[in-house]
Amino acid sequence: MRLILLTCFGLAGCATLSDPLPKQPDAPTAPAIVQVVGDQQDKADGRVAAAVTVARENATRPEVVKAETGVALSYLPNPSEGDLAVARARAAKNDQQDYATAVAYGKKLLASIDTNWAKMEADTKEAKRVSDLKDARIVELQKEVARVKQDASRNIWTLTGAGLVVAGGLACAFASVKIGTPLLLVGGFAGSIPYIYESPWFSWIAGGTCVAVALVGVWHLHDITHTPPPPKDDAPPSA
């Protein structure tokens, strides 16, 4: 029996190893979170761009330029001392070539950010797909384990019933029919236990049997407590 159980679990293990789970990509598995952050970032970038554009359109109105750039700065983090020093030096130099180089670098950096963001969104979707596959595989493995356990239990009862039937047959042949017949009946019952237990009517049958046994017990107890004792014979013994 141990060999049979080990074989069953070994086959289940081989089936699992032959179908390895896919590798989880290094990305979040909640696309909704990435979508929310992306929408918020797009809104902030759009408003910064709009404020700077309006400021350039009103370059002759210093108060408008100051107000619009203030709006743009409210959507941005505080610059580092190094970046601030580079920008001040560029403004002091006022070299158009430096401005062109900075603009080109900015466009290149923005394109790289857009590419990396698109890759992250794709990785996130792939991670969600793989995560769903893993969840489905876990459910399949849980069902497989439950099936193996059920088959192992069924095999135990089947082998037990077969052993009792063989013992009953031997007893009938070499000992006594009175000894062999009960073993045959018990063996047949033991072999049918898994099918009885798996029947949809098992709970009703078991519940009805328990109720019937309880009623018989109550009736028997009532009969014992209300049955008068037999009369005593007070006559003296005959000589």
Boundary residue ending a domain (77, 109, 141)? 77
- The answer to whether the beta carbons of residues 1 and 158 sit under 8 Å apart is no
Kindly tell me the burial class for residue 155, based on how many C-beta atoms sit within 10 Å of its own C-beta (0-12, 13-18, 19 or more). middle
**Total domain count for the chain?**
2
3-state secondary structure (DSSP) of residue 10: helix
- pLDDT value, residue 153: 77
In a domain, 182, yes or no: yes
- pLDDT value, residue 92: 92
From first CA to last CA, the distance across the chain in angstroms is 72
Kindly tell me the burial class for residue 208, based on how many C-beta atoms sit within 10 Å of its own C-beta (0-12, 13-18, 19 or more). exposed
Residue 43: give the domain boundaries.
33-77
In a domain, 194, yes or no: yes
Q: What is the pLDDT along the chain (239 residues), one digit of tens a residue?
A: 333 333 333 433 444 444 455 555 555 556 677 677 778 888 888 898 998 999 999 989 999 999 999 999 898 888 899 988 999 998 899 899 988 998 999 999 889 988 988 888 888 888 888 888 888 888 899 889 888 887 887 788 788 888 888 888 888 888 777 787 888 887 777 777 776 666 777 677 667 768 877 887 787 677 777 766 666 655 555 54
In a domain, 67, yes or no: yes
- The answer to whether the beta carbons of residues 65 and 55 sit under 8 Å apart is yes
- pLDDT value, residue 204: 76
26: left (phi over 0), alpha (psi -120 to 50) or beta: beta
Rounded to whole angstroms, the Cα distance separating 189 from 167 reads 14
- pLDDT value, residue 114: 87
Q: What angle do CA 181, 182, 187 make, to 5 degrees?
A: 100
* Inter-axis angle of helices 31-57 and 96-174, nearest 10: 170
In a domain, 202, yes or no: yes
In a domain, 66, yes or no: yes
Task: Read off the pTM.
Answer: 0.47
- pLDDT value, residue 1: 35
In a domain, 230, yes or no: no
> 96: which 2 tokens?
């158009």
DSSP state of 200: T
Beta carbons within 10 angstroms of residue 97's beta carbon? 8
In a domain, 219, yes or no: yes
- pLDDT value, residue 67: 94
Give the C-alpha distances (Å, rounded to integers) separating 206 from 43, 190, 194, 195, 197: 66, 16, 14, 14, 9
In a domain, 99, yes or no: no
Percent of the chain as helix, strand, coil, to the nearest 5: 80, 0, 20
* Inter-axis angle of helices 31-57 and 62-74, nearest 10: 170
- pLDDT value, residue 13: 41
- The answer to whether the beta carbons of residues 29 and 128 sit under 8 Å apart is yes
Q: Which amino acid is at 173?
A: A
